[in-house]
Structure 1
Amino acid sequence: MKTVAPQKVEECCPTFNNEKWDEKTFNWDNKPFIKASVPTFFHIPFPPMIGKQITRMNKIAEDSNQLDPNKEDILVLFADPHPFKSEIYLSVMAKVPEAKNTSLTGTFMSKVFDGDYNALPKFMKEMDVYLGSKNKKAKRYFVHYAYCPKCVQEKGHNYMVLFAEIDN
């Protein structure tokens, strides 16, 4: 009888570490990202388009060796500047050829939430209360989803990190 070695299952999304991101302050000075956008309908994204765009961005960054080797440190931030467009920011280590390079500079406070995607407005209100307790106010928000929809199902959590850009 022939034995078959177990196949190594590649991890899709790295295991999320709450402590690394919950109630932290980050001072970013030209933190490099590549940026893309996807259409939305009143802030509701079209999931296949998001997945394709993130896959494309990841490949470009990976091909140029600009993705952080520590997968847990890679951020995919979303911002909705208006109801029909969502911006996606992928953190990189340096400029990426053939990508729209940008950077973020400022002070950002973060807080971790766990819940349904449609609870984001509620989480933003909770974040505003948290910021108020620190005498701070958000200028704008970015959200990082720790897991893709497939991993949310597998891991049983839908962690989101809200990053609030604040005045110093």
Structure 2
Amino acid sequence: MKLNRAGVLRSIRRAVRAPHAAPVPPIDTLALIERHPAFQTGGSTVQTNAIPHYDMSVNTTGCCFKFNPDGWDAQEFHFRDKPFVRAKTHSLMHMPVDMGRVFSRVQKHMEDAGAVDASNTIVLSRDTSSFAGEHLFAVSKAVPEEEMTTLSGDFVTKVFEGPYQEARHWHEDMAELVRARGVEPKSIWFFYTTCPKCAKAYGKNYVVGVAEV
């Protein structure tokens, strides 16, 4: 069954607002959603805060792993207070100027803290202006010396492949993907899986769009 958390949420909210003979006690909406039949696939419940496995089996550059897109396209994520390290970068008309330095710092601190896990690896990035970027690094525990935050919500994914210059078009594609569900996108992020040098070496530049519904 194709999961549609936004539709389930709207159904639950309508049910909660319906007239009742007696007062209705407060409802933990997220917990109720997770138990809804629409979230059952193969007899098991979709896992909260789960993301696809990040394949670390190939690294011929000594830098980025060769990204395996299997299992990343057309997915639905359900985050509930999922922990991330939050970092900021500077840009010049959307072109990052210190991303390498910032990412290296965060990665080292994550490794020192033992917070890196192949089953929990994703970096969500977005431009907050023409001169700044925001990046969320998924972690399994708190990372000293870095700003911690959490993320909650429902998200859909789409895998793109091509030059970074296409990001503007990818952003609109993600917005339309969400609108096709009858809602407006709340936030749109991208997981840039490979740096430019490694993308050239591997011959592919995969980018995963992640949009909140």
- Asked if Structure 1 and Structure 2 have the same fold, meaning a TM-score greater than 0.5 normalized by the shorter chain, the answer is yes
After superposition, what is the alpha-carbon deviation per residue over 1:101-133, rounded to whole angstroms, capped at 9, x for unaligned? 111111111101011111111112222232233
Please tell me the root mean square deviation across aligned C-alpha atoms, in Å: 1.8
After superposition, what is the alpha-carbon deviation per residue over 1:76-115, rounded to whole angstroms, capped at 9, x for unaligned? 2211112221012111101111110111111111101011
Distance 2:188 2:152 in 1: 14
Question: What is the correspondence of 1:61-100 to structure 2 with a 5 Å cutoff?
Answer: 61-68=110-117, 70=118, 73-100=120-147
1:160 is aligned with what amino acid?
A: V
Residue 19 in structure 1 maps to residue 70 in structure 2:
yes
* Deviation larger for 113-122 or 127-136: 127-136
Which residue number in structure 2 is paired with residue 3 of structure 1?
none
Greater RCO structure (CA 8 Å; 6+ sep) = 1
How many residues in Structure 1 have an aligned counterpart in Structure 2?
A: 155
Distance 2:143 2:73 in 1: 29
Match of 1:124 among 171, 175, 181: 171
Task: Specify every segment of 5 or more residues in structure 2 that has no aligned partner in the other structure, as ranges.
Answer: 1-58
Which residue number in structure 1 is paired with residue 109 of structure 2?
60
1:52 is aligned with what amino acid?
A: R
After superposition, what is the alpha-carbon deviation per residue over 1:54-90, rounded to whole angstroms, capped at 9, x for unaligned? 000000010011111x2x7411221111222101211
Match of 1:51 among 85, 95, 100: 100
Larger radius of gyration: 2
C-alpha spacing 1:147/1:107, structure 2 compared with 1 (3 Å): same
**Secondary structure of 2:71's aligned partner:** helix
Which residue number in structure 2 is paired with residue 146 of structure 1?
193
1:125 is aligned with what amino acid?
A: E
Which residue number in structure 1 is paired with residue 18 of structure 2?
none
Task: Specify every segment of 5 or more residues in structure 1 that has no aligned partner in the other structure, as ranges.
Answer: 1-7
Distance 2:205 2:96 in 1: 17
State TM-score, norm by structure 2.
0.67
Residue 29 in structure 1 maps to residue 84 in structure 2:
no
Distance 1:153 1:50 in 2: 18
Answer 1 or 2: which has greater strand percent.
1
**Secondary structure of 2:160's aligned partner:** strand
Distance 1:12 1:129 in 2: 34
Do the aligned residues in 1 keep the contact of 2:85 with 2:136 (CA within 8 Å)?
yes
Deviating above 6 A after TM superposition, structure 1's stretches of 4 or more consecutive aligned residues are: none
* Sequence identity (%): 32
